[in-house]
Amino acid sequence: MSAYEQRITVALDYPVYFTEGVLEPANPHLLEAIRRREPERRHRCFFALEQRVAELWPGLPASIAAYVEHHGASLELVAEPFVAPGGEESKNDEAAPARFHTVFEAAGLDRQSAVVVIGGGAFQDLVGYAAATAHRGLRVVRVPTTVLGQNDSGVGVKNGINAFGKKNFLGCFAAPFAVLADARFLETLPHRDRIAGMAEAVKVACIRDARFFDWLCAHAQKLAAFEPAAVKEMIRRCAILHLEHIAGSGDPFELGTARPLDFGHWAAHKLETLTDFRLRHGEAVAIGIALDTRYSSDVGLLAPQAADRVLNLLETIGLPLWDEALDSRDASGRLRVLEGLREFREHLGGELTVTLLEAIGRGREVHELDEVVIARNIERLARRREGSVRYGT
Ligand SMILES: NC(=O)c1ccc[n+]([C@@H]2O[C@H](COP(=O)([O-])OP(=O)(O)OC[C@H]3O[C@@H](n4cnc5c(N)ncnc54)[C@H](O)[C@@H]3O)[C@@H](O)[C@H]2O)c1
Ligand SMILES: [Zn+2]
């Protein structure tokens, strides 16, 4: 008896637009995105709006109705826009996906209907997960409304919610049908979220692109001031580096043990749960980058001057390098953040694989971290923290 070797190759493609005013009737991108496979047909659309965004942009439902009516030959609205809470709390709410399943079912959505999701990274993760499991996958058109949603989470292929106190425990890989990053939504984003999302740009520059890193250093003050031209370029370059990685790494669905784009993330995910999500994802990532950069330099992998450049860049942009949760200890005196290493390995299975830095622009995978060295560098970051602010309330 020999085994039959099944092999399936699935090609995935989706456009990512960087635009402004997606719902202005003259802006063709949303229309193009929805009808890109069947330009002749009329397409059934459903809009999911994050509550905070709907409050800040009260004209959205009217703009959606006007856009769909303007393009009535191609688009059809199957229900009123559905407004629901977003933010990290929505990913912690295990009942949230079922609420979306209920409205998808009531609206009679099918696998060729488009669900247009307008909201932050957390809302995209939640609705993406619910949509991926309804009829085994609806077409999701993402309109991310945060920096992090536009430069990282919204352009990738992962969806998920938190469970059992663990980030993204429930989730799936499902490519979006299209992504539209609309710079205008960032106008209402609080300062804290504007800055937090930039941590992912520093991350991807550190491990992938020294020229982008230099560009970030040269524009750090403009980014700290949220100067629109610099922000747009940062978002575009960061998003494209993520897209290139997903398409070119040979492992878009992370079947192996490596998570090269998750530089700084083993500590970050743990810090988010340790602080009960008082820290934003991006803030936790900045601290995680600071820790793993210092570690890389301490073990002789990265030149100390390069490590200083990374820490200075994070600081100039206005990102934190420290939080008291880094120093939190369990009953036996062990640093709690170290538990993040075990959880990081557990999420993927197999051997622990963490990305460190061997140069700016070049990551290096390692399979072991020395807890004594981690603790020493937490102490060093603690000493540097003087004058820094406590993030969150
Ligand atoms: N799927 C992935 O590949 C991936 C990758 C990275 C991060 N993530 C996830 O993304 C999430 C973080 O995303 P985020 O940084 O966008 O945070 P978020 O979605 O929590 O949004 C941050 C805050 O901004 C608000 N908000 C959203 N848009 C707004 C706007 N235009 N104006 C004013 N306020 C607005 C939200 O209500 C929230 O309070 C985390 O859960 C993280 O784990 C997922
Ligand atoms: Zn991240």
Residue 258, token pair as written in the block? 């490596």
Q: Looking at residue 254, what is its pLDDT?
A: 80
Determine which helix (DSSP H) or strand (DSSP E) holds 375, and give its type and residue range: helix 371-384
Closest CA to 21 of 235, 150, 186, 148: 186
Q: Whose CA is nearest to atom 36 of ligand 1?
A: 87
Mean per-residue pLDDT for 149-159?
A: 96
Prediction pTM value: 0.95
Determine which helix (DSSP H) or strand (DSSP E) holds 125, and give its type and residue range: helix 121-133
91 lines ligand 1 (CB under 6 A): yes
pLDDT digits (tens, 9 = 90+) for 128-144: 999 999 999 999 999 99
Integer Cα distance of 277 and 283 in angstroms? 10
148 lines ligand 1 (CB under 6 A): yes
Q: In 209-330, where does DSSP find H-type helix?
A: 210-218, 220-224, 228-248, 265-274, 281-298, 304-317
152 lines ligand 1 (CB under 6 A): yes
Q: Whose CA is nearest to atom 30 of ligand 1?
A: 189
Please tell me the number of the ligand nearest to residue 152's CA.
1
Mean per-residue pLDDT for 382-388?
A: 73
Q: Looking at residue 348, what is its pLDDT?
A: 76
Q: In 170-227, where does DSSP find H-type helix?
A: 191-196, 199-208, 210-218, 220-224
Q: How many CB atoms lie within 10 A of CB 322?
A: 22
* The pairing of beta strand 158-163 with beta strand 166-173: antiparallel
| 319 Cα: distance to centroid of ligand 1 (angstroms) | 16
- Closest ligand 1 atom number to CA of residue 160: 1
- Closest ligand 1 atom number to CA of residue 157: 3
53 lines ligand 1 (CB under 6 A): yes
156 lines ligand 1 (CB under 6 A): yes
Pocket test for ligand 1, best of 193, 235, 276 (most atoms within 8 A of CB): 193
Q: Please check the confidence at residue 251 and state whether its pLDDT lies above 90.
A: no
Please tell me the number of the ligand nearest to residue 392's CA.
1
Q: Whose CA is nearest to atom 26 of ligand 1?
A: 120
Please tell me the number of the ligand nearest to residue 199's CA.
2
Contact (Cβ atoms closer than 8 angstroms) between residue 307 and residue 213: no
Integer Cα distance of 116 and 128 in angstroms? 10
| CA end-to-end distance (rounded Å), the chain | 64
Integer Cα distance of 173 and 170 in angstroms? 11
Q: Please check the confidence at residue 252 and state whether its pLDDT lies above 90.
A: no
Give the confidence band of 253 by pLDDT, cuts at 50, 70, 90. confident
| 125 Cα: distance to centroid of ligand 1 (angstroms) | 9
Rg (CA), the chain: 21
Pocket test for ligand 1, best of 22, 140, 281 (most atoms within 8 A of CB): 281
Q: How many CB atoms lie within 10 A of CB 101?
A: 15
